[in-house]
A and B are shown apart, each in its own frame.
Chain A
Amino acid sequence: MKLSRFMLCAILIVATVLSACSSPAPPPVAESQSSAASSASSETPVSDDLGPADITFWVLDSAMMGSIEPIWENFNNDYPDINVELVPLPWNESSARLQTAAASDTLPDASTTIAAYTSTLLQLDVVENLNPYFENFSQKDSIMEGLLNYIKQIDGTGENLWYLPTYITSGSIWYRKDWFEEAGLERFVTMDDFFNAIETLTGDGRYGFGFRGGPGNVYTVVPFITIYSDEESIIDENGQCIYSKPIALEAFERFMSIPANDWAPPTSINNSFAELANELANGVTAMYWHHFGSLPMILETLPIEKLGWAPLPVNNAGRRMTGVEPHGLQMYKSSKYKQETFEFISYMLRADQMEYFVANSGGIPANTDTDLSKYPFYSDVMESLMDEYTHYVYKPGEPFYLPEWAAYKDEVMFADIQAIMLGENTCEAVLAKWAKDIQAMQDKYEAENP
């Protein structure tokens, strides 16, 4: 009797647990990610008709929901049979989520992306080549050709369109226009003007430059060396790492002289872009280097009349090397509704939809027909970018095709830059190490891919 009551309780508990296991229906995403779908080859789509479909779209930066949600609503109105589920993800973990999903055959149909992510996923062979789909896109001629060429360079072949570009966030120097006017300074053009402005505006509790020493420090240091050296990429056309050249050392030392000379706040060692934007807005620094993506954040605190934008300085060779890494949208091979998925992601590229990216994400749209007349700030930017100095670099400045590059940049180079800021190492020693390591990666890549 005693035992049967106890057994009855145990059975009830087990039954409850098992019923809970079986009650939730597998989410739609599970259906499109079966192992059969993931092993399907990337076939040229033949269907012209868009049927009912359930699509999952991952937004890797949750802040982009402000741009994508209104586009999604418009798409739902135009395509009521295509049901798109938007899934925002925390940005910092988005790469890990994508790679986990790729390894476990649970990828969505499509997602937002950047070049670094796509290059990693290409090695897992999960990204759909969009060449055959893009041929039929009605507004393909309005998409900046340079951006398409950039994307095609990611795998080193220059042939495959791995994602659709949405907008670019070109390198920019945001500065306090009111401080420049007070000091009688014109907007800088050359490198010497740039450093002179930094030094002049330091003093009385203010700092001339917000140095990014914390997370993402490589995103200013690495391009600065490339720009100053008048190179387009870390690996030149001869397959040699530019860090072994004397001008690269000169560039590195000059840029690192900013924190060394106390032209940047002492907190720079830990500054990410968010702190830089806030320091500018709150009267700590005169300028900082980021790109258009931080414009919405700055304008939350600083009136637009006090804000100035400048393109990157012109190097000693008279050129302003302007990288144009595009953000974009990629589709995965495991998608069961490829035509419908491409319809959704290409919908976002239409000129009338691109405005949402301009308004909310602070990007320069990839569709040249996008109406920017409502955004006077952008018009000034576009004019500046058209001057005689600007030299667009329509290929990745970093060697994304090297498998070890992403980890090396984020772990080794990041730590080395901080070590220099702490006085624990020198630019010369660090740059020599980087030159050696990166050249070794390049040589290994060339040996394996003749």
Chain B
Amino acid sequence: MKMGIAKKILYYLVLSLFFILLMFPIYFIVLISLKHESDVFVRPMQYIANPATLRNYVLVWRESNFVVYFLNSVFVSLITMASIMVFSIMTGYCLSRYQFKGKTVVILVMLTAQMVPSVATLIPVFIIFRDIGLLNSLWALIITATVSSLPYCTIMAKGFFATVSVQLEEAARIDGCNRFTGVIRVVVPVMLPGIVAIGAFAFVNAWNSYLMPLMLLNSPSKYTLTIGLRLLIGQYNINYTRMASAGVICLIPAVCMFAYMQKYMVSGLTAGAVKG
């Protein structure tokens, strides 16, 4: 009995430590966002903002053009997420259910594509988009984000499809569904957690993308949140409180998404890990 309590205390202690380690940066950003600029570097450091202010959020939203950046990021991330979910489901199904020549090569190519850093492809991507007239376009970001995340998401989808019994599809076909309808109506709902995991991964990757927006966009009206954040750092001027506020604003959609989808993500990620 005593050992049981001691063990529990130890577990909670370790978990609390990890929690503090992981959450402290978030807490710190929120803390800075609520401070006045003059209080940021005061020593000793104040761990509670006193006096606190929400003025930084108002300034960021109103004066730093963040509304435009936010909407651009939402647009790019949502379209990217939808595209990846559609393509990865279709491709993952093929790789999981069909046997064809070159299947192993296709999977290997997808895996090795993940090893190529995006900065290595920056110049050819830039030249291609320039030549086809897609420079300074949000569609360029959508295409690059989709292409960069698609291999990994496809491998994930393949794994999720592998967890779904073939008999389920056969039962659906017996009931009158064709292959496509069977996948959409029967298989996909069963692997919903996996699909949510894929969508969340794709969204967050597109949301956090910085290098491609930086190099492919030339108009402030097309900038995304990541560039907007970087614009707050001047050559001789850094407004830390405004940066922290902008950082919190950037976090909100991703945090909300994860809070809502976390149960799907956990089961989805682990389900895909078992069978491949």
Contacts and interface: CB of A to CB of B under 8 A. Distances in A.
B130 A106 contact: yes
A24 B41 CA distance: 46
A91 B234 contact: yes
A184 B230 CA distance: 43
Interface residues of A, number: 52
Contacts of A88: 220, 231
Given A97-B214, A106-B130, A27 B135 contact: yes
Interface in B33-90: 37-38, 40-43, 86
B118 interface: no
B241 to A, nearest CB: 10
Q: Which of B178, B238, B240 has the most CB of A within 10 A?
A: B238
B230 A278 contact: no
Interface in B123-149: 123, 126-127, 130, 132-137, 139
Contact of A97 (B130, B215, B240): B215
Given A282-B41, A362-B236, A24 B139 contact: yes
B233 interface: yes
B41 A278 contact: yes
B230 A90 contact: yes
Contacts of B167: none
B248 interface: no
A21 B130 contact: no
Contacts of A30: 130, 133, 135-136
A62 B127 contact: no
Nearest to A10: B90
B245 to A, nearest CB: 15
Given A56-B218, A91-B234, A21 B139 contact: yes
Q: What's the interface size class on B, roughly?
A: 35 or more
A63 B126 contact: no
B237 A297 contact: yes
A29 interface: yes
Contact of A5 (B41, B130, B180): B180
A215 to B, nearest CB: 11
A284 interface: yes
B172 to A, nearest CB: 14
Given A30-B133, A87-B220, A88-B231, A13 B86 contact: yes
B235 interface: yes
B85 to A, nearest CB: 13
A293 interface: yes
Contacts of B219: 27, 85, 87
Given A90-B214, A106-B130, A279 B41 contact: yes
Contacts of A274: 237-238, 240
A64 interface: yes
B263 interface: no
Contacts of B180: 2, 5-6, 9
A26 B218 contact: no
Contacts of B133: 24, 26, 30
Contacts of B214: 90, 93, 97
Contacts of B231: 62, 88-90
Contacts of B137: 24
Contact of A104 (B40, B130, B134): B130
A109 to B, nearest CB: 12
Contact of A281 (B38, B134, B139, B218): B38
B177 to A, nearest CB: 10
B227 interface: yes
B238 A297 contact: yes
A169 B234 CA distance: 15
Interface in A102-143: 104, 106, 108
Interface string B207-240: 0000000110011100000010011111111111
B41 A281 contact: yes
Given A92-B230, A278-B40, A301-B37, A296 B237 contact: yes
A282 B35 CA distance: 14
B8 interface: no
Contacts of A100: 123, 126, 215
Contacts of A106: 130, 135, 218
A207 B218 CA distance: 44
A273 interface: yes
Nearest to B241: A300
A356 to B, nearest CB: 15
Contacts of B86: 13
Contact of B236 (A56, A92, A275, A294): A294
B236 A293 contact: yes
B179 interface: yes
A26 B218 CA distance: 11
Contact of A24 (B134, B220, B235): B134
A9 B90 CA distance: 11
A61 interface: yes
Given A9-B180, A27-B219, A62-B232, 4 more contacts: A90-B214, A100-B126, A273-B236, A284-B43
Nearest 7 pairs of A and B residues by beta carbon: A63-B234, A293-B236, A90-B230, A278-B41, A301-B38, A62-B231, A61-B235
Interface of B: 37-38, 40-43, 86, 123, 126-127, 130, 132-137, 139, 178-180, 214-215, 218-220, 227, 230-240
8 contacts: A1-B178, A5-B178, A60-B235, A61-B234, A90-B231, A104-B130, A169-B236, A300-B38
